[in-house]
Amino acid sequence: MSTAAKARRIAAITVATGALAALGAGFATASNGDRTGDVRAAIKGGHARNVILLIGDGMGDSEITAARNYAKGAAGRLNMDRLPLTGAYTTYALQKSDPRLPDYVTDSAASGTGWATGHKSYNGAISVTPDGRPQSTILELAKRAGLRTGDVTTAELTDATPAVLAAHVVDRSCQGPADMKACPANALQNGGAGSIAEQQVKTGADLYFGGGRARFAQTVQAGKYKGKTVIDQAKAAGYQVVTDAAGLARLSPNSRALGLFADGNMTQEWTGPEAKKGGTAPSRCTTNTAFSGPHLTQMASKALDVLDRQTKRSRQGFFLQIEGASIDKRDHSADPCGQIGETVEFDNTVKLAQEYARRHPGTLVVTTADHAHTSQIIPVGTDSPGKTATLITADGAPMTLNYATSTGDSQEHTGTQLRIAASGPQAANVVGVTDQTDLFATITRALGVRR
């Protein structure tokens, strides 16, 4: 056997073995625990007609485990646990002052830039390299190749994770025309491409659903739309603009759609006691009575329906990113019920993607996160120096979550590697330990698009 043939054989064995080790209880079809055949059947090359990328912001392994324990019990399984091929990926950013050095704890902007463009950058960068140069994104490449595109989030649409697909600015704070203090060279009046909101409209994804209405209501400072709002600019570009669940339901698939469902971030699904020094009494989470909707599952379902209808007419596929953003935001606030409720709703959205892929076998589904976060499951009764809260899980048992990465009001991200799981064409490329930048290559290879 030649050296090359031996290498190919070893690589194939490594892929199958690594996937098998990571499967857990993901396959219900294995009758005796031997999943070798299932793993072999899950490995598919070739092109994907569609790609659905699901990002749980701040959803590290601890956040996944906490949600599983609370909602399903320790022996239960989430929908994301059932994706057939699983690996881990590294998340580090670069130091802005010296890009030759890693920054071991990434933010959402640098991590999103990694998978959106295939390039590492510094914390705060939106799809630019450390020298400030814009880099083509998956969404831009897909659009250029004639595919339909969508961007869905529970955060402001101009927040980092949705922004990295359709904008290029040197600082993530430059969300609307009035927010350009940190990005003077990017400002429209200075000859730049404009704020994130302005660039998103210009990039022209087929649909954007999320919060951030106040950013789009800001006034354009220069150019053709000077004196008008970014919403006016969007309408002139052919976008239907909707602001509530009823409007979302009525959307026609015949034109572009901009859903702005909150002035800022969208409301959280669940509420409960926030963690505090000395802990809380054991409790259960409750539905947020102030929730104003739509739910992430509703936005995702509509996005899939619209893009599916559009691609049937165009005979092209689509790229869709869906973000459950407030797992991260509630983690920052040491709010376990908020964090878990967002993870459960995100997991319900993963199920929608899996069901779509079953009906459309040429679909690559990838579920992952952008960075890990602060919450840790610790022994009940531990005298922790951090903030703790105790919840009663689906097992009827107490579970204590600890938040201790900051003494301030906002908890910090952590730098650990993350779970990444997938199904469909090219899914085998997530197995093992990869990096966020490798996800760009996996998706562009699957879609058959090039820089």
The residues that are catalytic are 108
Dist. CA 388–CA 378, nearest whole Å: 9
Contact 149, 139 (CB under 8 A): yes
CA distances from 277 to 18, 177, 403, 406, 412 (A): 41, 41, 10, 12, 17
Tokens of 116: 């959106």
Dist. CA 241–CA 305, nearest whole Å: 17
In sequence order, which residues have a C-beta less than 8 Å from that of residue 194 and are 6 or more positions away? 177, 186, 187, 188, 202, 220, 223
Per-residue buried b or exposed e for 180-212, using 16+ beta carbons within 10 Å of the residue's own CB? beebeebbbeeebbbbbbbbbbebbbbbbbbbb
Tokens of 423: 């199904």
Contact 284, 267 (CB under 8 A): no
Paired sense of beta strands 85-90 and 398-403, if any: unpaired
Strand ranges for 160-234 from DSSP E: 207-211
CA distances from 346 to 54, 84, 102 (A): 8, 18, 30
247: three-class secondary structure by DSSP = helix
Q: What's the full length of the chain, in residues? A: 451
Dist. CA 5–CA 108, nearest whole Å: 40
Say how many Å lie between the first and final Cα of the chain, rounded.
37
362: three-class secondary structure by DSSP = coil
Report the candidate in 310, 368, 347 with the shortest Cα–Cα distance to residue 88. 368
348: three-class secondary structure by DSSP = helix
Strand ranges for 60-160 from DSSP E: 85-90, 93-94, 102-103, 148-156
Residue type for 416, please? T
